[in-house]
Amino acid sequence: QVELVESGGGAAQPGRSLRLSCAASGFSFSLYGMHWVRQAPGKGLEWVAIISSDSNNQDYGDAVKGRFTISRDDSKNTLYLQMNSLRADDTAVYYCAKEGCYNGVCSGHFDWWGQGTLVTVSS
């Protein structure tokens, strides 16, 4: 059974940094792209970042570009999100999600999600 478990959330002051982790199990982690998605309090889902299965490609939403870095360690089956220069509007529950593929074709969806980790940015 696929399992994704996020950790590393907590409280941080504006301008500081946090690193989130997502431990994956139940599938061949190295074969799939991985995403971070967030949900601010009372708001909808917002895509944050993607890293390809081979780590050669990353992409980010405009709100976090230049401040957040996505990475992965396939030897540890773990996904990371380094969050720098945190702002109050980064306050959200952060979810990691697995790239969805069907019959060998990945169609841009997220087929498994973690339970999320809460990040609160406040002075």
Partner 1 sequence: QSVLTQPPSVSGAPGQRVTISCTGSNSNLGAGYDVHWYQHLPGTAPNLLIFGDNNRPSGVPDRFSGSKSGSSASLAITGLQAEDEADYYCQSYDTSLRAYVFGTGTKVTVL
| Residues of this chain that bind partner 1 (CB under 8 A) | 4, 35, 37, 44-47, 50, 59, 61-62, 95, 97, 100, 102, 107-116
* Shortest Å, Cβ 58 to partner 1: 12
* Shortest Å, Cβ 98 to partner 1: 10
Nearer to partner 1 among residue 42 and residue 123 (C-beta): 42
DSSP-derived pairing of the beta strands 117-121 and 10-12? parallel
Longest dimension (CA), the chain: 48
Nearer to partner 1 among residue 75 and residue 105 (C-beta): 105
Q: How far is CA 72 from the centre of its chain?
A: 10
Nearer to partner 1 among residue 27 and residue 113 (C-beta): 113
Nearer to partner 1 among residue 50 and residue 79 (C-beta): 50
* Shortest Å, Cβ 113 to partner 1: 4
Categorise residue 77: left if φ over 0, alpha if ψ from -120 to 50, beta otherwise: left
The Cα 65–Cα 85 span in angstroms is 11
* Shortest Å, Cβ 95 to partner 1: 7
Which sign, positive or negative, has the C-alpha torsion 54, 84, 98, 114?
A: positive
